[in-house]
Amino acid sequence: MLARRALQWAARRGGQRPPVRGLRGSPRARSAMPSWVIDRYGRNEVLRFTRDMVFPVIQYPNEVIVKVHAASLNPIDLSMRSGYGATALNMKRDPLKIKSMDTEFPLTLGRDASGVIMECGLSVSYFKPGDEVWAAIPPWKQGTLSEFVVASANEVSFKPKCLSHVEAASLPYVGLTAWSAINKVGGLNQSNCSGKRVLILGASGGVGTFAVQLVKAWGAHVTAVCSHDAGTLMRKLGADDVIDYKSGSLEQQLKTLPSFDFILDNVGGSTEKWALDLLKKWSGATYVTLVTPFLINVDRLGVADGMLQTGVTIGSKTVKHLLKGVHYRWAFFMPSGPSLDEIAQLVDSGKQSTCPTERAITGSRSAKQDKCACWYLQQKGLNIFFSDIQPVIEQVFPFSEVPKAFQKLEEGHARGKTVIDVVNKK
C-alpha cells in the first residue's frame, strides 16, 4: 500500500522520488487557535467558541498538521455532542489509563477536513507543506471544527483537483463510511458490480447520496429509498428506481420489485426485520447495515460486557441469516488515506477542463457529456458537481455559525451535507 502511494506521489511530481523529510519544528509564535469545543455532553447549548484551544503538536513521526479550510457535519457529531460512545472512545484515546488528565474535554467535534498541510513528521514522505489535502479524522481524535488539526498521514489524501475546499469537505467521512460498507465489507468493486441490483435504504443523506453514485459508477442497477421531495435529486445522481417510503408500506412496495444482490441499510430499526427477505437466496447476496449496537452496548454495559454482548448479537444474526441463504454484515467508518485516494480518482474522472466555470443547468445527467470541470446544478438550493462522484451540499455555514449548522443537521431529512467554511469567520 505504501509503495503504491509512493508511485502515485512520484507520478504527481514528474517521476521524482519522494524525499525523506526530517521532523519540522513549527514556529511557536502562537500556542492557541480558534476552535469550537464542548466542555460537557448535552444539547446545542454546550457548544462554545474559544480562541484559546491548544495548538496541535506532532507527537508521532507519521503525523501531519493540516490548516483546515473547510469542515462538514455528520450525524455522529450530534451523537458525540450528546455523549454517545463516550466509554468506547475514551478507551481508544487512553487504553492504558496513563494520561494525567482523566477527561476528554475540551473536545472538538467535526470529522471532515479539507485544507493545506502545514507541517510533517519525521517519517512522512508522501506529503509536504503546502499540499492541498482532505481527510476524515477518527472520532477518538480531536476534530476539525478548528483552525488546525493533527492527523496520521495514513488518514490523509490529496484533495481532488476539481473540487474547492468547501466541496471536498463534504465527502471524506460519508465516502469512507459507504466505501467500508460497500467495498470492504460488502465485497463490491468496479470489476464485479456491473449488472447487480443494489438497494439503498436512506438514500438522500450524506452516506446514501455517495453510495448511490458509487455503485452506479460501477455499473449497478440502483434502487433508492427516500421521501418524495428527494426523488429528483436521486434521479440526478443516477438512481434507476426511486421509492417513496411515505407512499404506503415500504416493504410491500419493494416486494413488487425483483430481488436484490446487495442492500445497504442506513436506517436500521424495524427495517432489518424484513429487508433481508428482499435478497436473492443462495446467490451470495449481502445485507450490510450501518446501524449497529456496538457503542450503545459499551456505554450501557461497560467495555468487557458490551463487547461480549455485541459479539453474541452479530454472531447469532450472521448464522441465522446464513442458514436462510443470505449474508448479514455490520459496517463502520474506517479512516483510510488510500481509500480516499481511490475516491479522489472517481471524483476527478472524466474531467478535461481546469476552468471553474459555473453554470445553472436544468437538464438530465446527460449533461455530464460536456467535459467542463465545474458544472453545477442549482436545484432547490443543492450544489451538485458533475462527475462519477458528486458532492451534494445542502447548506454552507461560516465558522461563526457552527451552532446554527448543528441545529440545521438536528432537524433531520438531510438532502446532502452541511458544510462549515472555516476560513470564512464571519
Out of 146-150, 167-171, 372-376, 381-385, pick the least confident.
372-376
pTM of this structure: 0.86
The whole-number pLDDT of residue 68 equals: 98
What the block records as the C-alpha cell of 148 is: 488546525
Q: Where are the beta strands (DSSP E) in 160-314?
A: 197-201, 221-226, 241-244, 262-265, 286-289
User: CB under 8 Å, gap of 24 or more: what pairs does 87-90 form?
Assistant: 87/298, 87/299, 87/302, 87/303, 87/306, 88/294, 88/295, 88/298, 88/299, 88/303, 88/306, 89/139, 89/140, 89/295
Q: Is the pLDDT of residue 374 over 70?
A: no
Return the DSSP state at 180: I
| Mean pLDDT, residues 83-89 taken together | 92
Place 295 in a pLDDT band, splitting at 50, 70 and 90. Answer: confident
Q: Is 86 strand, coil or helix?
A: helix
| Mean pLDDT, residues 97-109 taken together | 80
Distances (CA, A) of 67 to 144, 145, 165, 335: 10, 11, 11, 19
Place 378 in a pLDDT band, splitting at 50, 70 and 90. Answer: very low
CA dihedral 201, 203, 208, 214 (to 10 degrees): 100
- Distance, in Å, from the CA atom of 111 to the CA atom of 172, rounded to the nearest integer, reads 8
What the block records as the C-alpha cell of 237 is: 445522481
Return the DSSP state at 258: P
Contact between 374 and 193 under an 8 Å Cβ cutoff? The reply is: no
134: left (phi over 0), alpha (psi -120 to 50) or beta: beta
Other Cβ atoms closer than 10 A to 126: 22
Q: Is 360 strand, coil or helix?
A: strand
